[in-house]
Amino acid sequence: MSDHAVLHVKGRVLAGPDDVRDELWVVAGRISYDRPAGARDVRTVQGWVLPGLVDAHCHVGLGPGGPVGPDVAEKQAVTDREAGTLLIRDAGSPSDTRWVDDRADLPKIIRAGRHIARTRRYIRGYAHEIEPEDLVAYVAREARRGDGWVKLVGDWIDREAGDLAPSWPREAAEAAIAEAHRLGARVTAHCFAENSLRDLVESGIDCIEHATGLTEDLIPLFVEHGVAIVPTLVNIATFPQLAAGGETRFPRWSAHMRRLHERRYDTVRSAHDAGIPVFVGTDAGGALPHGLVAAEVAELVTGAGLPPLTALAATTWEARRWLGRPGLDEGAPADLVVYDGDPRADVRVLAAPRRVVVDGRVVG
């Protein structure tokens, strides 16, 4: 399609949970619900239409050993795009991916800078590894480097204790989160365990990644403070394998990881039922491949038991609103995905996009 062509999208346009339309037009890369006068060179696409999907926990530019080159990062972004993911919250990456912003054919990325972890308490090559007295300075640095988010590693295995343990004293977390907020950034944290959550939530954190340690007594605290979670269930599925690999050296940690895995669906369902915002994230990058957004939505529905429309909202309308980006709004950039079937009736439809449109261009 030429830069001056008009794209006519017909069928069922799912602009919101209660906003279903019969068609939209794409003119100069922007969405319009009014037929353009004198439209020529019109291309028509038909099907069920959603806003470009959101992966709110994804790592473009990160591989198993740390940062990867632009060629690998490009393949990661293309794989996500082909899966229908057109907006990524990059929840920590040591690579500079600003070049992606100049590519009109790739997903849009909201960056959280680089992970900030305690010394020798995270995966080697991924994070700034520092001590608590330096946390505020590094949070300020990554707040300026990112796009409105900062990513902490809230807990990790403590080798002396042989189990998961919080990374930061409460006073350090409070000061660091306050500094991020002063600079206009929100803060999220990787957290597997139970005992890292209360201090972070009461310190003002905005989101918790994974949240496998969320318990019934902590749920009201999350609700009170408005803290969202991104469960990354396709990543939590790897816990038994991780536990088996650490059984000999860290049996307490291995048993703990298995318990967290066993109750993962109950944890997410209880969070949703209580009113905690739940968003879709895959944790792609590092150990997991990209392009898993449809699998994560399916996990939320078939595993955790969330209503299909809720799971769709968690990767479309609500996720975009949470991240401050438009959906299928009048005048918004035309980032959308077309499917052959109704994803509200069966979320497995998301695994097979018929067409992918980025900035008004059909790219898949």
Tokens of 122: 């995270």
| Residue closest to 24 by CA, chosen among 16, 15, 350 | 15
Task: Name the burial class of residue 182, with classes exposed (0-12), middle (13-18) and buried (19+) by CB atoms within 10 angstroms of its CB.
Answer: exposed
Q: 136: helix, coil or strand?
A: helix
Class of domain 6-50+327-362: mainly beta
What homologous superfamily is domain 53-323 in, according to CATH?
A: Metal-dependent hydrolases (3.20.20.140)
| Residue closest to 28 by CA, chosen among 2, 1, 3 | 3
Average pLDDT, integer, range 348-355 = 98
What pLDDT was estimated at residue 39? Answer: 73
d(CA 118, CA 296): 29
Q: Does 43 or 321 have the greater pLDDT score?
A: 321
pLDDT, averaged across the chain: 96
The pLDDT-based confidence of 42 (bands split at 50, 70, 90) is confident
Tens digit of pLDDT for each residue in 134-167?
Answer: 999 999 999 999 999 999 999 999 999 999 999 9
What pLDDT was estimated at residue 40? Answer: 72
Q: Which of 27-31, 38-42, 346-350 is predicted with the least confidence, judged by mean pLDDT?
A: 38-42
Tens digit of pLDDT for each residue in 275-320?
Answer: 999 999 999 998 999 999 999 999 999 999 999 999 999 999 999 9
Q: H or E stretch including 33?
A: none
| Residue closest to 316 by CA, chosen among 13, 47, 16, 11 | 16
Domain positions in the chain are 6-50+327-362, 53-323
Tens digit of pLDDT for each residue in 324-345?
Answer: 999 999 999 999 999 999 999 9
Q: Is pLDDT at 2 greater than 70 in this prediction?
A: no
| Residue closest to 292 by CA, chosen among 301, 302, 280 | 280
What pLDDT was estimated at residue 37? Answer: 84
The pLDDT-based confidence of 4 (bands split at 50, 70, 90) is low
What pLDDT was estimated at residue 1? Answer: 43
What is the pTM (predicted TM-score) of this model?
A: 0.96
Tens digit of pLDDT for each residue in 191-212?
Answer: 999 999 999 999 999 999 999 9
What pLDDT was estimated at residue 3? Answer: 46
| Residue closest to 55 by CA, chosen among 308, 349, 296, 343 | 296
The angle subtended at Cα 45 by Cα 317 and Cα 300, nearest 5°, is 35
Which residue in this structure is represented by tokens 């239409």?
Answer: 49
